[in-house]
Structure 1
Amino acid sequence: MDKYTIIHLKRKGQSNRKIASELGIDRKTVAKVWNNYQSAQFQLVSRPDLTKEEIERLTEEIVNHSYNSQNRINLKLTPEVFKRIADILTDEEEKKRILGNRHKQKLTATQIHQMLREEGIDIGLTTVTNAVRELKAAKEVFIKQEYEFGDRLEYDFGEVRLVIDGKMQKYYLAVFASPAGKFRWAYLYTAQDQKVFLDSHVRFFAMTKGTWKEVVYDNMRNVVSRFIGKNEKELNQKLIDLALYYNFEINVTNCFSGNEKGYVESSVKKLRNSIFARKYQFESLDDAQNYLEEQLTILNEDSLFEEEKAYLRPVNFNYELAEILVASVDKYSCIRVENNFYSVPDYLIKKKITVKNYLDHMLIYSNNTFVCEHKKVNGVKEYQLELSHYIKTLRKKPGALKNALVLKQYPQLHTIYQTHFKAKPKEFIERLIQLQDEPLDVIIAQFEQNTIQEAISKSQLHESVLINSINQLQTLSHLMARRYPHG
């Protein structure tokens, strides 16, 4: 929170001295945080040739929020302080009644802050300013807003009910909306937790290749960790890290003020009704997600997003969201991740490997070398097995194919094996070895083609044998007729 506050105030043009005074820290700390942040951001944006290690170092520099805050002023807005500010504003209303609406002697938030400090109350100017703004907004008048390209992006979740694989279930749309660009985009998820929240941002900014100056949110749990007093909000640290990396301001609406991000509020309804009102049944979640992307492309044909791209802050590298795990490979050549099992090549049995665990997939490494990738499965104690991971073992134990779970996870291959190779498992395995670098559909097609060719060859062989037999019978008949002309 401290680092984000410094950067937020610097973007607003405040001096190091003023920020240091308000936050109760050394101004050299302010200068160091700001200079390091600017340097790291510049390198991320201007150097597309950065190595993986350099990106990780710069990311750490950007999101690292630790510094000595031992002597920092307490910024909590207590109910008593909030009431004191409210009393001051009540006095201001009385002053306005006496002096008239146009009088020039109105107290500013800075003056109110100074009054509180003189009364012995330790509180920051930003906290006072936010409290004054909220109290003055009690009688709110809505004013139509207009935004420039690249200024504002709004975010929200929306619920949608779909029937997937015959089962009705609630799903969630993570919706992004640019008011200036008239651009709307969404991703479909099974939850709306923090992993989903962060994943949707990384995917969206990877697609747009740029970020907006500010992103606007409501008071969802992924944004606000807790409320302090009646006014101040403690932002979620993972969102702060994300904002620091992508260089955008976090704008949180007032409670129950959906109008403050009205474009995305209406976008949720529009996308839900335009896309899923007519079609709501799908074979799989992947089908639903692909359908959503197709429809979004059509809906955005008239948007101004292509023009807005030139105004976005460039993004060259994705923010790394992976959870790093160390897993042990069991005797079945599987690792356990989140209560499900995933295969790895059988030469890794009883070894420890590194897993980069993402929301919907994982990357597996051994001794810093990439091994394989798995799409994550839903459920508990489910298995995701890759046939190529067991080739070495199956070659030694071909009889294990008969009841192997890994083969049953490929129904078409399993049928081919049961129909044509049950009595010759070694031949089946050798063909798999020849095709192991090919995608599954190519492997199946090759097996089917070979099976058909063999069937034709056998048929031709049978036909040839039959013809030969007939010819031999005819020849024998002629010979017999000559030898015994009168029967």
Structure 2
Amino acid sequence: MPKSKVDLYAAIRRDAKAGLSIRALQRKYGVGFLTVQKALTSAWPEPRKKLPPRPTRLDPYKPLIDEMLRADLDAPRKQRHTVKRIFERLLDEHGADEISYQMVRGYVADRREEIRIQAGRGVVEAFVPQTHKPGAEAEVDFGDVTVRLAGELVTCYLFAFRLSYSGKAVHRIFASAGQEAFFEGHVHALNVLGGVPTGKVRYDNLRAAVAQVLGFSRHRVEAERWTAFRSHYDLEALYCQPGIRGAHEKGGVEGQIGWFRRNHLVPVPEVATLAELNTMIDRWDQEDENRRIRSRPRTIGEYFAAEQPLLAPLPQEPFETGRLFTLRVDRYSQISVRTNRYSVPVRLIGRNVRAMLHASELVVYDGRDEVARHERLIAKGGTRLELDHYLEALVRKPGALPGATALEQARSAGRFTPVHDAWWDAAVKAHGQRDGTRALIEVLLLGRHLPHEHLVTGLAAALKTGALTADAVALEARKAADADTAPAETPEPAAGGRASIARLPAAVRAHLPPDKRPLPSVAHYDQLLRLRRDRPTP
């Protein structure tokens, strides 16, 4: 007979492949039908269910024992409680006649070391120094950081990729620590380093990479997209042990994240966008090459200069780091991506669109055409709407504009300025609520063809002159655009050259020779008018 249940399952599966029926397997091994079925379904027996701990007579006295063990932490080594002394005190001081010595001994054997660890006095672990070959090894990790983003305090995630030999580290801050950020951080770091480590890259058990941890071994069930990414860049992953023990196995990047956070992100940075912050981080990474790690004789940059040529070359083809979704546009002209909602043009309501989710932005496609691009939301359950996506619907429903969520978000983002509001109020007074609002919507539609700053300039000019129509705003906006794009060089002399020169910038006109031509006269036209007045009336 097989020695264990695993051997039993293996024997049943072997005999079943040889042609034995289920009934014959039951008779041969003396098991039931369900056991044979489970063996044929899986080679690994189901683990036994762990029963909940049963109450014991020792339970009321466990807090008393814990108190004695905690007192021993500060007592002289030769005057600490033994199991026998604990048992005697329970009998004499607390009348614990219903418990036995064996019960106390078993509890103390497990609990004494737990209390020492909780108090920070457990067994000291030894750390063995390691030597890293240049260009061979690296470490990767995420760390959370707090940033004041657009005036709001939010939690973001700092990605760090650190070469073990030189200590050269590349950082990137993302709105999330998801798989998209994990991939984009790798791509950015490898491009900055100019190559790929030829040896092992140490990781902890991030969900972006590891789907399942198999027992206490180093083996992992990897996420499929991570396996494809590793294969594309020829990365060799080494996964650390779970928990705090695994953190010591990649102490270089753990310490690097803490150092970077303390030296560059204190005080809390205040930025408008994450792109602005990442530009600052790129500069800090470059400056950090001039520092030395502990007592090393050379700087990080000098070590990296020797290590960089030993890295493996980057692949020629890029890897798509974003995650593609096929989504249906609801009646609010929105799509839902990872618990957040984003707007798309109203013409797509009821249709399916493709959304490519990146670490910092969301791009929406209708077929091959890009129809929307949003900055990715950080919090869950948020909504990001673009006022331009609703303009076709607002032309038919102008009364919905004053309370529109997209309008409030446009105001907060600075896209709908006080100049818009002032022109809108004047248009409503002149044309009425409906027609004035519709005129504003027509002005907003001009933003699809005119730059935002020129449109605001046109609105201000039209408001100043009292021209409260979309055509007048378009004319003033195009004048502002023409003024910005006026030629910077002297035009060729031609008829009407004086007017052309007058349109040049003042800095250019100052270097031109004086124009000695006489001013144009309209006297000849006046003679024609006089002749017409002298003509007799028929």
Instruction: Give yes or no for TM over 0.5.
Output: yes
1: CA distance, partners of 2:335 / 2:206: 35
Q: Residue 176 of structure 1: CA displacement?
A: 0.8
CA–CA separation in structure 2 for the residues paired with 1:448 and 1:273: 42
Mapping of residues 307-456 of structure 1, within 5 Å: 308-310=307-309, 311-411=311-411, 412=414, 413=416, 415-422=418-425, 423=427, 424-438=436-450, 442-443=451-452, 445-454=453-462, 456=464
Q: Which has the higher contact order (CA 8 A, sep 6+)?
A: 1
Amino acid at match of 2:366: S
Say whether residues 1:295 and 2:303 are aligned partners. no
Give the Å deviation of 1:450: 2.3
Judge conservation of contact 2:175–2:378 (CA < 8 Å) in 1: no
CA contact (8 A) 2:145 2:156 kept: yes
- Unaligned ranges ≥5, structure 2: 1-42, 48-124, 291-299, 428-435, 468-538
Per-residue CA deviation, residues 217-263 of structure 1 (Å, 9 max, x unaligned), is 24555555545454342242343332112112112345626554343
Of residues 133, 145, 159, the one that matches 1:147 is: 133
Task: For residue 211 of structure 1, report the CA deviation from its aligned partner.
Answer: 1.8
Query: Aligned partners of 2:423, 2:403: CA distance in 1, in Å?
Result: 16
The one-letter code of the counterpart of 1:156 is D
Aligned equivalents of 2:142 and 2:197: distance in 1? 19
| Contact 1:364–1:372 under 8 Å retained in 2 | yes
Q: CA deviation at 1:420?
A: 1.2
* C-alpha deviation, 1:177, in angstroms: 0.7
RMSD of aligned Cα (Å) = 3.8
How far apart are residue 280 of structure 1 and its match?
Answer: 1.2
Structure-2 change in CA distance of 1:224 and 1:322 (3 Å): closer
User: 2 CA distance for matches of 1:457 and 1:227?
Assistant: 71
Query: Does structure 1 residue 264 correspond to structure 2 residue 250?
Result: no
Q: Write the letter of the residue equivalent to 2:362.
A: M
In 2: Cα distance, 1:224 partner to 1:337 partner: 23
Distance 1:281 1:264 in 2: 22
Q: Percent of counterpart pairs with the same letter?
A: 21
CA distance in 2, matches of 1:165, 1:449: 25
Kept after mapping to 1: 8 A contact 2:180/2:323? no
Aligned to 2:187: 202
Cα distance, 1:283–1:249 mapped onto 2, change above 3 Å: closer
**How far apart in 2 are the matches of 1:253 and 1:379?**
30
Structure 1: stretches of 5+ with no match in the other structure: 1-73, 79-138, 460-487
Superposed displacement of residue 216, structure 1: 1.8
The 1-side partners of 2:127 and 2:458 are apart by 75
Q: In structure 1, what residue type is equivalent to 2:284?
A: Q
- Distance between the aligned counterparts of 1:366 and 1:407, measured in 2? 24
- Report the CA distance between 1:215 and its aligned residue: 1.4
Matched, 1:177 2:185: no
SS at match of 2:260: helix
Could you say if the C-alpha distance between residues 369 and 175 of structure 1 is closer, same or farther in structure 2, counting changes exceeding 3 Å? Answer: same
**8 Å CA contact retained: 1:211, 1:315:** no
- Shift of residue 402, structure 1, vs aligned partner: 3.2
The aligned counterpart of 1:236 is: 222
2:262 is equivalent to residue 273 of structure 1: yes
1:283–1:354 CA distance, 2 compared to 1 (3 A): same
User: How far is the alpha carbon of 1:349 from its aligned partner?
Assistant: 2.0
**Aligned match for 1:252, one of 239, 247, 251:** 239
Decide whether aligned partners of structure 1 residues 369 and 455 sit closer, same or farther in structure 2, where only a CA change above 3 A counts.
closer
- Tell me: CA distance 1:363–1:170, structure 2 relative to 1, closer, same or farther (3 Å): closer
Q: How many residues align?
A: 322
